[in-house]
């Protein structure tokens, strides 16, 4: 599955690079303000939020290769659309299409991987494979900084177009497991796209994602316009902290349970965002960004462990797609809302709101009525309780 891991990594490196490049691109070419920057960056996640459940269900039904290949190809085309867009409206369309492509790439591939593992290793596997997506989002900004230093903005956009094209070739050369070779025997129904048991972990993930979305949309502008400096370092520092935590912390999810790990790391995320809201120097801001990265590093594996403990293995792809869509929605809301709040109340207020969202996510993990305690052991809940949830 190394090829699939690399294919997703390359696709999300392209998306991550746009997070670094778009703010200056929008300001320099289209004279955009914070609201427009936040909306444009966040809009790609509208496409991913809508497309993920469909891509995951199609993967469950044996269409992983076709969906993932189409996603990588669409991502490359949308990347070219960023560079060629004559105005903001066309750029917004390109952002949505890139989001749809990225969703198909990851959520179409995930059932491919889940089919080959036992439930006890779900957290570790989710951490490992999910690292391809989050690693791309995190390392993409660093790659954009390096490309710009070597060849300017043209080099960055050339890289953004080329990376998902490589993903297409890698997916096309990967064999589909026999377990995923059968097409669906009946038409899709709504419950096939959003299986029972996804709601609580999805909300936990979505509220946590709001903090990441705020940081991704506003950090570069915050460091620059507030005179703190470090515009090219902020997202890189976040990326390093995030990746190291994900690599080292994913096994803890299988060892201690998704709920326990989520409670701990969500408090760390909230602390990092609160520090960022009060930062008055470059050093303080970068420390805050690193703490936030540590907090967010294993939120996704923890939510995955909870989700797979509440859903049937035959719908794992759709369940993961629906859950991950909540991450996308959190980022989608954070971009324009954070930009709007910044326009009227300043950056610090936007980061305080993100802190509150992380605390709300923590509160959900402690709510006994959600039933997420089943996820700690990785076992499915009682079927009657799932029926009541429906």
pTM here is 0.72
Taking only Cα atoms into account, the Rg of the chain, rounded to an integer number of angstroms, comes to 19
Identify which of 46, 45, 37 has the alpha carbon closest to the alpha carbon of residue 218.
37
Residues 6+ positions from 227 with CB-CB distance below 8 Å: none
**What span, in angstroms and rounded, lies between the C-alpha atoms of 352 and 340?**
14
The 8-class DSSP code of residue 390 comes to -
User: May I ask the CATH architecture of the domain 2-175+194-384?
Assistant: Up-down Bundle (1.20)
The 8-class DSSP code of residue 198 comes to -
Domain ranges of the chain: 2-175+194-384
**What span, in angstroms and rounded, lies between the C-alpha atoms of 52 and 49?**
6
- Measured in whole angstroms, the distance separating CA 21 from the mean position of its chain's CA atoms is 18
Cα angle for residues 140, 146, 151 (degrees, 5° grid): 120
HSE toward the beta carbon, residue 25, CA cutoff 13 A: 24
Print pLDDT tens along the chain (390 aa). 788 889 999 999 998 898 888 888 888 888 887 778 878 887 887 888 888 878 877 776 777 788 889 999 999 999 999 888 888 999 999 999 999 999 899 888 877 776 666 555 555 666 677 778 877 887 888 899 899 989 888 899 999 999 999 999 898 887 765 544 444 444 455 455 566 667 788 889 999 999 998 998 888 888 887 667 777 788 888 888 988 888 887 778 878 778 888 889 999 999 999 999 999 888 899 999 999 999 998 888 888 888 777 665 556 667 777 787 888 888 888 888 988 898 899 999 999 999 999 999 999 888 744 444 443 433 334 333 343 333
């Amino acid at each position: 599955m190394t090829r699939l891991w690399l294919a997703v990594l390359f696709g999300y490196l392209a998306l991550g690079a746009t997070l670094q490049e778009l703010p200056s691109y929008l300001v320099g070419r289209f004279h955009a303000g914070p609201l427009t920057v936040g909306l444009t960056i966040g809009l790609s996640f509208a496409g991913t939020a809508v497309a993920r459940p469909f891509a995951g269900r199609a993967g469950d039904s044996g269409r992983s290769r076709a969906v993932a290949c189409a996603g990588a190809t669409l991502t490359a085309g949308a990347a070219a659309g960023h560079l060629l867009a004559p105005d903001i409206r066309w750029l917004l369309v390109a952002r949505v299409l890139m989001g749809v492509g990225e969703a198909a790439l990851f959520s179409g591939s995930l059932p491919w991987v889940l089919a080959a593992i036992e439930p006890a290793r779900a957290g570790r596997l989710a951490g490992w494979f999910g690292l391809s997506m989050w690693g791309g989002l995190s390392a993409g900004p660093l790659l954009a900084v390096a490309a710009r230093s070597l060849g300017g903005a043209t080099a960055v956009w050339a890289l953004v177009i080329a990376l998902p094209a490589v993903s297409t070739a890698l997916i096309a050369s990967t064999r589909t497991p026999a377990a995923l070779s059968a097409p669906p025997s009946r038409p899709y129904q709504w419950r096939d796209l959003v299986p029972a048991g996804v709601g609580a972990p999805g909300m936990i993930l979505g509220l946590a994602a709001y903090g990441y979305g705020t940081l991704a949309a506003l950090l570069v502008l915050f460091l620059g316009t507030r005179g703190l400096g470090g515009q090219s370092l902020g997202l890189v520092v976040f990326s390093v902290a995030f990746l190291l935590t994900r690599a080292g912390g994913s096994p803890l999810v299988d060892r201690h349970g998704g709920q326990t790990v989520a409670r701990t790391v969500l408090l760390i995320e909230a602390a990092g965002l609160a520090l960022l809201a009060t930062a008055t120097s470059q050093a303080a801001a970068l420390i805050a960004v690193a703490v936030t990265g540590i907090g967010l590093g294993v939120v996704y594996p923890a939510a995955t462990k909870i989700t797979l403990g509440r859903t049937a293995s035959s719908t794992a792809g759709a369940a993961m797609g629906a859950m991950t869509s909540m991450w996308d929605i959190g980022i989608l809301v954070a971009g324009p809302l954070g930009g709007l709040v910044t326009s009227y109340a300043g950056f610090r207020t936007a980061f305080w709101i993100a802190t509150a969202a992380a605390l709300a996510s923590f509160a959900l993990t402690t709510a006994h009525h959600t039933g997420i305690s089943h996820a700690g052991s990785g076992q499915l809940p009682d079927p009657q309780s799932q029926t009541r949830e429906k």
